[in-house]
Amino acid sequence: MSTARAAVSLRNISKIYPGSKVKAVDNLSLDIPEGQIFTLLGPSGCGKSTTLRMVAGLEAPDEGAIYFDDVPIVLTDKNINLPPEKRNIGMVFQSYAIWPHMTVAQNVGYPLRMRKVPSARIRERVAEVLALVGMAGMEKRPAPLLSGGQQQRIALARAIVTEPRILLLDEPFSNLDAKLREQMRLEVKLLQKRLNITVLFVTHDQIEALSLSDQIALMQSGQIQQQGSSRGLYDAPVNEFVRDFVGKTLLFRGKVQSVGPSGAAIAVDGASACIVSARSHDPGMSAGHEVFLGVRPEDIDVLAASGDSPPPGMVSGRVGAALFMGERIEYHIEVDRQKQISIYGDRHTPFKDGAPVWLKLRPDGHSAWSLNPLEGERYGDAQQVEEARVPGR
């Protein structure tokens, strides 16, 4: 966790929409550190936007408190709820929401005009922020004559023109095409560093979250499942939901050989010489237990088999299908005594359909999970289980 001071704190926030029985946000507490990008990540309907909108003042929580720099903005038990315009926030949403009847300068300067800032100062400040978002000199351009990416930059410029305490971004790139999305991702990161502004970012896209965030809170059903750095969530997921939502995990059946302070030694079924070390996710796990070994696909190398039984640390299999994807090849591999897994290989050493291969696992850094009946049905590629379980992702 970060030691930076909290710019925004939520304490025990709950929200039920009228007519609904389930809590959109359920007793949620979090601290958004000053000068960082804090991301709410999670599947559709998990309560990300509702949380962001309560920080903005566009929704009122039923219970709980929100503080900006320790100053209460919302205290439900005292009926305090500051309106959005008194919160000093900047917002960008999925829809560009820039005004089509205005020029770029009028759009970006609008929040300053509302605050009765003198027009000479508005002109100065508009030029400044346009330069920051790479749109210098575009003041006179009518808003409809901008591309999607440019419109989103203008929305961003308008959101930061007042130097807000916190910038709220709700899926700001999802209307852009893939290339532009990547570019905007980098630009927001650079802009955030330059301005050292605090950002609350909402996305359901794990790549966007991993690459942009200082902290991620992964949500499900209105609650936080895990909070931490991108690396923390990826390398040490606390439960199956986090493991399968953030990145891909291949599941192998195995047996615990021993459990020590640095983790469990697991022998992969069908490959007795393949024993690797894994973090245990069950305090009761001990020698002899049947478990799932969770392996990130990038922790496996696909090698040509050159004999009958694989050397230590390797599992043998056969290429079921090889799909050429351009920069890499996706292999579907039938693994001895395991379910089929899908994994990427490099395009320089292709294997044909049916080729015998050895899968070389890293010796450590894996995870061990108790057998779970749902996964027992379809293990192999945990991502498939995840997709079956979380609709609308």
Q: Where does this chain bind Mg ion (CB under 5 A)?
A: 49
Strand 198-203 vs strand 37-41: parallel, antiparallel, or unpaired? parallel
Q: Which does 20 bind (CB under 5 to 8 A by kind): ligand ATP, Mg ion, none?
A: ligand ATP
> Taking the chain, what is the end-to-end CA distance rounded to the nearest angstrom?
28
User: Of the two residues 74 and 135, which places its CB atom closer to ligand ATP in the complex?
Assistant: 74
Q: What is the smallest separation between the CB atom of 27 and ligand ATP, expressed in angstroms? A: 15
Q: Rounded to an integer, what distance in angstroms lies between the CA atom of residue 300 and that of residue 342?
A: 11
Angle, CA 155 vertex, CA 154 and CA 160 arms, to 5°: 95
User: Of the two residues 188 and 275, which places its CB atom closer to Mg ion in the complex?
Assistant: 188
Q: What is the smallest separation between the CB atom of 234 and Mg ion, expressed in angstroms? A: 23
User: Of the two residues 3 and 20, which places its CB atom closer to ligand ATP in the complex?
Assistant: 20
Q: Rounded to an integer, what distance in angstroms lies between the CA atom of residue 164 and that of residue 91?
A: 9
Q: Rounded to an integer, what distance in angstroms lies between the CA atom of residue 155 and that of residue 282?
A: 47
Residue nearest to Mg ion (CB): 49
Q: Which does 196 bind (CB under 5 to 8 A by kind): Mg ion, ligand ATP, none?
A: none
Largest CA distance in the chain: 81
Q: What is the smallest separation between the CB atom of 48 and Mg ion, expressed in angstroms? A: 5
Q: What is the smallest separation between the CB atom of 93 and Mg ion, expressed in angstroms? A: 9
- For residue 215, the surrounding DSSP H or E stretch is strand 215-220
Q: What is the smallest separation between the CB atom of 50 and ligand ATP, expressed in angstroms? A: 3
Number of helical (H) and strand (E) elements in the chain, helices listed first: 10, 21
Q: Which does 204 bind (CB under 5 to 8 A by kind): Mg ion, ligand ATP, none?
A: ligand ATP
Return residues touching ligand ATP (CB under 6 A): 17, 20, 24, 42, 44-50, 204
User: Of the two residues 45 and 310, which places its CB atom closer to ligand ATP in the complex?
Assistant: 45
Q: Which does 192 bind (CB under 5 to 8 A by kind): Mg ion, ligand ATP, none?
A: none
Residue 76: both structure tokens together: 């439900």
Length of the chain: 393
Q: What is the smallest separation between the CB atom of 204 and ligand ATP, expressed in angstroms? A: 4
Comparing C-alpha atoms, which of 141, 189, 135 is closest to residue 161?
135
> Is there a contact between 209 and 133 (Cβ–Cβ < 8 Å)?
no
Q: Which does 46 bind (CB under 5 to 8 A by kind): Mg ion, ligand ATP, none?
A: ligand ATP
Q: What is the smallest separation between the CB atom of 166 and ligand ATP, expressed in angstroms? A: 18
Burial of 290 (0-12, 13-18, 19+ CB in 10 A): exposed
User: Of the two residues 17 and 324, which places its CB atom closer to ligand ATP in the complex?
Assistant: 17
User: Of the two residues 45 and 380, which places its CB atom closer to ligand ATP in the complex?
Assistant: 45
User: Of the two residues 204 and 253, which places its CB atom closer to ligand ATP in the complex?
Assistant: 204
> Residue 276 pairs with which residues in a beta bridge?
266
